Structure 1
Amino acid sequence: MTGGLWQDRQRVDCLVIGGGPAGLTAALYLARFRLSVQVIDRGAGRAASIPLTRNYPGFPDGISGRELVQRIGEQAVRYGARITTAEVATVERSGDIFQCRTSSGLIEASTVILATGIRDVRPPLDDELHAAALAAGLIRYCPICDGFEVSGRRVAVIGRGAHGAREAAFIRSYTDDVTLLAWDGTTNLDVTQRAGLAGAGIAVVDGAVASARMQHDKLILATDCGELAFDAVYPALGAQVASRIAQELGAQVNEDGYLHVDEHQRTGVPGLYAIGDVVAGLNQISRATAQAATAATALRNDLLLSPPP
């Protein structure tokens, strides 16, 4: 190990799984704490797909997710962090050591920070159309992040039930032209929800979506009720939480699969920390990077109090 607290060990002080803003910020802090840190990332993170974020502090003109990730990664590497693109197969605990088997080999670590995030559930668009619509800002996944950008525009929410109704109501605070629909036509709204949406001036389309296409600066949805053109479409279909590794190690999750942590980002498994969207709470980059600083500092102090044998 080079640059760590225990120079005679042949493993890293911390393995960070996930190379988004959370994981890379943790690596930056750990490297500056003079700990050895290895980041493993599969190279397809959620943040990197953001065309432009305008609500991350310090970038008044906005910054793409890819550039933000690149900048934080370069900063972490400057101080000694190592970043490897690989898939993680398993993580096992053997005594006080975590053994991580990846597509690039075996890594042993005294501690692990999980920054594995979530994956948005997409509407059934083909990959090419989805990528093009996402890049053009026609498909958007985070109204908290960019609802301001759709102010006064025609917006659709793809969702059902209480979750879809809540997201449509949230977006209604930015524009008076909001439509809620479900891809298969099943909105699952009860009488009270329909009345609430109607009272807020939110349209509900009960027809299924047969197809979608981009036309100029619009996303056209062909429904049973005719073609509808939107300036932006927000899928409110939930997310798949990447907490498998933590659960296999014995960490506790809520009913949706999000990890429970304490105020220092510790899971219930000694030496295992979690940060970012994989943790229950608000899915925001600023929150994720704050959690990274908290976890890295707690980890350093925990190692100082209980160094490996």
Structure 2
Amino acid sequence: MAVNGDILDCLIVGGGPAGLTTALYLARFKRRFRVIDSGSPRAAWIPTSHNIPMFAEGISGKDLLARAKTNLEQYGDCILPGMVTGLRKQPDRFIAVVEGNDGSTSQIAARRVVIATGAVDIEPDLPDVPNAVQRGLVRYCPICDGYESRDQKIAVIAYGAHGIGEAVFIARTYSRDVTLLTLGQHLELDPEQQGRLDEHGVKVVEAPIESLAMENDRISAMNVAGKEHRFDVLYSALGLKYRSDLALSLGAEHDPSGSLIVDSHCETSIKGLYAAGDIVRGIDQIVVGMSHAAVAATHIHNHCELPTEDEPGGA
């Protein structure tokens, strides 16, 4: 851990696929870095992903993370459990405040920082079933596993334009039997939106879910307005909460949802501060986050000895 004037080349905040891929690249570039891992990556929620190359039978998020960490171990012990609770920028470095799992507090100095803290799915408010997405009872990524749900009876829990878009995406790609559940919220539809739903045969149920039936660790039925609905697959499309507070505290540019806007090198509007993974505005996919990591790490390696624009002689 870098303290007492010791400055790392890079600090990586987040131990998900993007953070661990950044670490792998920097390790192979022989850079001095550390990963701060809070132990709660979104990827760990994935039961099985089938669209990561080389894993024909699919791979769970937990197995993917375990493999990434095992791979990284051959380059030394570089992952520190804890959470970065504060980040400030000085002319030649960033200073991160880190709270360890044992309650200790320390500071780490680094010339560059990669924010790979990701996002958290907004959980649906289901009766007597908290944390349904984290528990794998409700899926959240039809891009990852929609192919395995093809031609099945699918429900999308959502409302608003995003929910309509998700339901139409699934209906036109994987199944002609899709229902949009709005959990009691009235869905205001303009003619264009109604036309899209009608074109793809998407049904809309606005009444709240009154009760659920569980069977073999899955939601087998929903009671809505006194009527039982059964679905083979449930997806949630309620959006994300982006873990971007550290970057926002430094004034990094972001969109209205809080996801970060980066350049072609995955550098934020704050010189020396990079972002990778779900926290970056765009498509939320593991392979995309890993590509962010490769781009950011290579740019960091190529510029690590160069001063930032805030330093004398900086570009």
TM-score calculated relative to the size of structure 1: 0.91
Contact 1:139 1:234 in 2 (8 A): yes
Distance 1:62 1:271 in 2: 36
Cα-to-partner distance string for 1:114-167 (whole Å, 9 max, x where unaligned): 001111111014796645x7655x411011111101111111011112211111
Give the 3-state SS of the residue equivalent to 2:80 in structure 1. Answer: strand
Q: Report what 1:275 is aligned to.
A: 276
Distance 2:30 2:128 in 1: 42
Contact 1:165 1:197 in 2 (8 A): yes
Distance 1:306 1:81 in 2: 28
Please, what is the CA RMSD of the aligned residues? 2.3
- Name whichever structure is richer in helix by fraction: 1
Look up the equivalent residue of 1:296 and give its one-letter code: A
Look up the equivalent residue of 1:285 and give its one-letter code: I
Distance 1:183 1:130 in 2: 16
Q: Report what 2:290 is aligned to.
A: 289
1:300 Cα deviation from its structure 2 partner = 0.7
Q: Report what 1:237 is aligned to.
A: 238
Contact 2:127 2:210 in 1 (8 A): no
- Structure 2 stretches of 5 or more lacking a match? 101-105
Q: Report what 1:5 is aligned to.
A: none
Distance 1:30 1:162 in 2: 40
Q: Report what 1:195 is aligned to.
A: 195
Where does 1:145-156 land on structure 2 (aligned, <5 Å)?
145-156=144-155
Look up the equivalent residue of 1:50 and give its one-letter code: I
Look up the equivalent residue of 2:271 and give its one-letter code: P
Distance 1:134 1:86 in 2: 21
- Change in Cα spacing, 1:126 to 1:195, as seen in structure 2 (3 Å) is same
Look up the equivalent residue of 1:260 and give its one-letter code: I
Q: Report what 2:182 is aligned to.
A: 182
Look up the equivalent residue of 1:142 and give its one-letter code: C
Distance 1:230 1:91 in 2: 45
Q: Report what 2:43 is aligned to.
A: 47
Give the 3-state SS of the residue equivalent to 2:305 in structure 1. Answer: helix
Q: Report what 2:165 is aligned to.
A: 166
Q: Does 1:115 align with 2:116?
A: yes
Cα-to-partner distance string for 1:266-309 (whole Å, 9 max, x where unaligned): 11212111111111111111111111011000001111334999
Where does 1:50-65 land on structure 2 (aligned, <5 Å)?
50-65=46-61
Distance 2:71 2:82 in 1: 20
Give the 3-state SS of the residue equivalent to 2:278 in structure 1. Answer: helix
- Change in Cα spacing, 1:98 to 1:126, as seen in structure 2 (3 Å) is farther
Distance 1:128 1:161 in 2: 23
Distance 2:84 2:28 in 1: 25
1:63 Cα deviation from its structure 2 partner = 0.8
- Structure 1 stretches of 5 or more lacking a match? 3-7
